[in-house]
């Protein structure tokens, strides 16, 4: 996860009052590729349902999609923690901890 090296980016969390991320081009490309594959998998599941495919086969495809989405979430969370969260804590913003805990709880449901 070298894309999130401290000091290698601009102020991550705010830009004229708007919160934004600052992923490297490599990371963006990786995330977009993963999401494109997931999108294709979802279309595939839709096709399986339209073809009345055996339920267990469809459920296994859904499990694969969930796993792929979890992987994307883990990458984003790691980058967020290594960049925005650290920067905001260093700037004295302790609210980021509560925000992070809420997000992690949502991811773990």
For residue 5, pLDDT beyond 60: no
Q: Positive or negative, the Cα torsion across 35, 37, 38, 40?
A: positive
CA distance 23 to 99: 20
pLDDT digits 0-9 by tens, 39-95:
999 999 999 999 999 999 999 999 999 999 999 999 999 999 999 999 999 999 999
Give the pLDDT of residue 12: 54
Residue ranges of alpha helices (H) inside 6-94 are 25-50, 55-80, 86-90
How many Å apart are CA 107 and CA 71, to the nearest integer? 11
Q: Is the overall model pTM greater than 0.85, yes or no? A: no
In which band, very low, low, confident or very high, does the pLDDT at 37 lie, cut at 50, 70 and 90? very high
Closest to 44 measured CA to CA, from 31, 62, 29, 26: 62
Helix 55-80 to helix 95-107 angle (10° resolution) is: 170
Of the candidates 13, 4, 12, the one whose C-alpha atom is nearest the C-alpha of residue 31 is: 4
Q: Could you say which of 3.20.20.70, 1.20.58.1000, 3.90.1150.10, 3.30.70.640 is the CATH number of the domain covering 22-107?
A: 1.20.58.1000
Quick one: pLDDT at residue 19?
78
| Domain residue extents for the chain | 22-107
pLDDT band at 4 (very low <50, low <70, confident <90, very high): very low
């Amino acid at each position: 996860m070298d894309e999130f090296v401290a000091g290698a980016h601009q102020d991550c969390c705010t830009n004229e009052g708007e919160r934004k991320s600052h992923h490297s081009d490599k990371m963006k490309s990786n995330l977009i590729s993963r999401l494109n594959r997931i999108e294709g998998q979802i279309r595939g599941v839709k096709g399986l349902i339209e073809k009345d495919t055996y339920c267990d086969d469809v459920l296994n495809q859904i499990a694969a999609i969930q796993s792929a989405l979890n992987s994307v979430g883990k990458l984003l969370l790691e980058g967020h923690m290594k960049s925005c969260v650290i920067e905001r804590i260093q700037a004295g913003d302790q609210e980021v901890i509560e925000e992070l805990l809420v997000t992690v709880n949502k991811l773990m449901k």
